[in-house]
A and B are shown apart, each in its own frame.
Chain A
């Protein structure tokens, strides 16, 4: 290679890194701004710059966001709603994952006539805009007597989550050779015996994918939360939106930002700890093979 070519190559590499770092800053900027704003006093926010570090650290906005920020006339902070989200997400994730695992096991290994059609119907259901079920679901939850309650929200999240969980497990179990099931059947093992002895022990990766996907979806959900929750059962996303748009009193941007970080923390934590599985969930079904 001539020295000129080497120079232009080095320039190219520098340019490459410059672009990549510029984009990294673009993605990080909102998080940075949220964090620094949440640690500034209102006085400093008014006089300082968006991008500057706090001159004097204050954790008061965090305390207020957690336990006393007002949404309308209610001043309880995010705390009760954070726990609502936990109480809603944990059972909904567990139930939809268990149902998805069993469904996927049947679709992958116990084919019967009409199974493919049913699977297509489930897959189709993953793509509907939820707006199309919002009205009848509101009526149905009323009929069932669980409108505006956390069990109601759990029910909705399970129903509309099993499509994806079934897809995850089916695509995973399909790679396990059918001879294994056939041999186990010859040995006299039944449906559940085979599931618990052979399939479940192999399932840790896909259970992780399913749990992370469902948790992220349910924790971050806003549409079902705002449509089907009552005053005492609102999930954290709805409470965050109410706090931010609360018109009473002075606009406390630092409290808003602290509240936003608190609402985002659980899914962000999951992403940092188990990013690999998070990405697998995102790409499952959209990238084949």
Chain B
């Protein structure tokens, strides 16, 4: 009885412990193993080597997916951060109706990416969407047909993703701006330092951890981007807007190529870990400076 009393906390954690061990780490190990076998339609467990990875990196479609990830991820992160920071600074200038504006900027984050994709697909379709509307205003030669042009379609995904996430970045930055010590800012104002200098020299440098957090969250969203591509372009035209996540899904569920699916999933995980591990490490390290 006393043993039970003493070990209740451990017993409470036990189911989660087993679940995380099996369904996160065990499953990662399983996928890693499959990526090193000749599995096709069915999993096979005989070790083969890195053949799947060689096939993966030789596949033109995977090449496109990785290129798209860097184009999409890079633009998505940079543009969201720039818009987010700008809106946060502007909102921080004692703006009337700040609450309403904040609510409007952030609501897309509550939507499913499938909904976002469906809406933008309709807005961007050349036949009846923006292009047709602007033409009907008299600009007969106006062209905005990125959605159906293989070399431009990836930018429609950037546009929709920025629309969805930039308000969230704004909220992060605004919280950061508000947490800066107001005494320092007031002192700088008394000294007659212009507002833009106060931001660039005092406030923004103290927000470095928030830039890092925003970067991590956005990078994570970019690498996992799947729903938006499915809903907006379904990877097309052709496979012009494939991302690693859609490649993996296609291999796993429509091509029946488990080995390729596993190998591409492992690469995705490694890309995420390359970004997240240093961050988590710095977060979890005991702090001495406070």
Which residues of A are at the interface with B, using a C-beta cutoff of 8 A? 13, 16-17, 19-20, 23-24, 26-31, 33-34, 37, 45-46, 49-51, 99, 102-103, 105-106, 110, 112, 118, 120-125, 127-137, 139-140, 159-160, 162-163, 166, 190-192, 216, 219-220, 222-223, 226-227, 237, 240-241, 244-245, 253, 256-257, 259-261, 263-264, 267-268, 270-272, 275, 278-279, 282-283, 286-289
Contacts and interface: CB of A to CB of B under 8 A. Distances in A.
A112 to B, nearest CB: 6
Contacts of A110: 9
A18 to B, nearest CB: 10
Contacts of A29: 123
A114 B269 CA distance: 25
A93 B152 CA distance: 39
Nearest to B272: A129
B153 interface: no
Given A112-B10, A223-B226, A267 B110 contact: yes
B272 A267 contact: no
Given A33-B123, A103-B12, A227-B253, A263 B112 contact: yes
B269 A245 contact: no
A251 to B, nearest CB: 10
Contact of B20 (A51, A122, A219): A122
Contacts of A260: 114-115, 118-119
A24 B83 CA distance: 12
A151 to B, nearest CB: 16
Contacts of B19: 159, 162
B214 interface: yes
Contacts of B105: 23-24, 27
B189 interface: no
Do most interface residues of chain B lie in helix, strand or loop, or is the interface mixed? helix
7 contacts: A17-B95, A50-B132, A121-B20, A131-B264, A131-B269, A160-B23, A240-B115
B11 to A, nearest CB: 9
A38 B261 CA distance: 38
B112 A237 contact: yes
B123 A127 contact: no
Contacts of A51: 133
B22 to A, nearest CB: 9
Contacts of B104: 24, 27-28
Place the interface of chain B in its size category.
Answer: 35 or more
A190 B4 CA distance: 11
A43 to B, nearest CB: 12
B163 interface: yes
A278 B171 CA distance: 11
A109 to B, nearest CB: 9
Nearest to B210: A287
Given A33-B122, A132-B28, A253-B128, A287 B175 contact: yes
For the complex of A and B, list the 5 residue pairs with the smallest distance between their C-beta atoms, beginning with the closest: A220-B112, A110-B9, A271-B110, A222-B227, A286-B213
Contacts of A118: 13, 17
B114 A19 contact: no
Contact of B234 (A137, A245, A289): A245
Contacts of B266: 132
A263 B27 contact: no
B23 A271 contact: no
Contact of B265 (A50, A102, A131, A226): A131
A244 B115 CA distance: 10
Interface stretch (B53-61, B72-80, B198-206, B215-223): B215-223
Nearest to A134: B252
Given A112-B10, A222-B112, A50 B123 contact: yes
Given A16-B93, A264-B110, A264-B111, 9 more contacts: A19-B86, A27-B108, A50-B132, A103-B16, A131-B248, A132-B265, A133-B28, A220-B113, A282-B168
A104 B110 CA distance: 25
A226 B252 CA distance: 12
B45 interface: no
Contacts of A105: 12
A34 B120 CA distance: 9
Contacts of A245: 234
Contact of A287 (B8, B136, B213): B213
Interface in B14-38: 15-17, 19-20, 23-28, 30-31, 34
B106 interface: yes
Given A30-B119, A267-B111, A16 B95 contact: yes
A213 to B, nearest CB: 11
B280 A124 contact: yes
B209 interface: yes
